[in-house]
Structure 1
Amino acid sequence: MDRLIYTAATGARHLLEQQATTSNNLANATTTGFRAQLDSFRAVPVVADGLPTRTFVVDNTVGSDFRQGAMQTTGRPLDVALRGDGFIAVQSADGSEAYTRNGSLKVSENGLLQTAAGLTLVGENGPIAIPPDAQVAIGSDGTVSAIDTTQTQPGPSNVLGRIKLVNPETRGLVRGDDGLFRQQSGLPADVDQGVRLVDGTLEGSNVNAIDAMVNMISLARSFETQMSLLKNAENNAAKATQILALN
């Protein structure tokens, strides 16, 4: 009885937490470069005096799904997608270096190359400044060049910098509350010359909306099962009390 109550109660609680994770994945099914979050359940015995009869159920975040999403051609010069593994380095809101696969870029009011969310891209030699009235092109190796469009005849392209592209071990990455990835060590990742970009293309989310919906239904039914187990435990306890009262 004791084991049933603890297992069912904690199972119901963490089913709700996993439901929240699945809902977040489903909400980001159309977010550029999003990586689905993975969860799993595990049993944890309660360490206390007496017999080890009580066990908790814990929802454990095991990581993220790093499989590549579908490529979507946009034709926009400031849209880039990573071909294969790798990440784009950006400066997060707290000033630290973080990593994303969202390649929807823009030029800020101050002329800095940023993501669509307003995060400044990290260049190999610092932030990349874009001059006004310039046509920007991004090479497969992350090199950013611009051509002055104010002249009658287009001049030569000028290299403005190179986007920092990295490919750290995914096992050593953690996802922050802002959706960006960072190394567990807190140190910036090294530049990887093998990472390549595709211009005029965006990578979609790798969340399968159908699988996420089916998972949500399955979690809802599992929650109902846990509630039924708790109800059975209550009924069993009531019957036991009646028997003891008769004695």
Structure 2
Amino acid sequence: MNKKELKIFLDEKAVQYERPDFIPHDPIQIPHRFEKKEDIEIAAFLTATIAWGNRKSIITNATKLMDIMGNEPHDFILNYHPDQAERFEGFVHRTFNATDLETFIRALQNIYHHHNGLEALFASGITTGGLQPAISHFKGVFFEVPHQQRTQKHVSDPLRNSAAKRINMFLRWMVRDAKAGVDFGIWKNISPSLLSCPLDVHTGNVGRKLKLLSRKQNDAKSLAELDASLRKLDPNDPVKYDFALFGLGAFEGF
């Protein structure tokens, strides 16, 4: 395919897969249970944090997280006290455990009390390098609270060559327009043009087959290469192609 044919093909696939009937089969269903902005973004962030492994398990454990917080995540975080830590006992998703969760709750509390919330914090870290330095800035602020070193592995740092797949997915959910009924578009201070594709096994493999990506590793350098290719196809909304690449790989075995 030439560039024009590739764009037509991927545009069609993006439309095909960015549909509300995608939601019941995806972790994005968890934040879709809420209406308040802060509830949506907190539910989305915590869900994205544990979004690796089996999707059924991700959804089950993200539902447990919401239940732990009484299905009012923003109110729970604002009013959380360490005496409530027993609520987290027994929670585990792969290597993310109750200790990690308690740290995340305190970190989010610090962000809402002292940094004007998640959107403001990410927006404040944007540079000419786009959102990847903002993610690194976010991680630095996130771990201002006392924490065990092991918990840091659950927030990726693009400046340490991570593709930061889960945080980029979270940012896609928050920033991209809601007109298709999948993403939320509730963050107005960050442009969709700055988003990066959540780079995973499906988007990486399909991207390589379509010659959008040449590097073999799914790391920050590969993400930059894929981003550059997708921005040539649509500089205003490059990450709509996440639906196309993921759908082709996960559902069509492309």
Query: What TM-score comes out, normalization by structure 1 length?
Result: 0.23
> More strand per residue: 1 or 2?
1
> More helix per residue: 1 or 2?
2
Higher RCO, 1 vs 2 (CA within 8 Å, ≥6 residues apart): 1
Larger Rg: 1
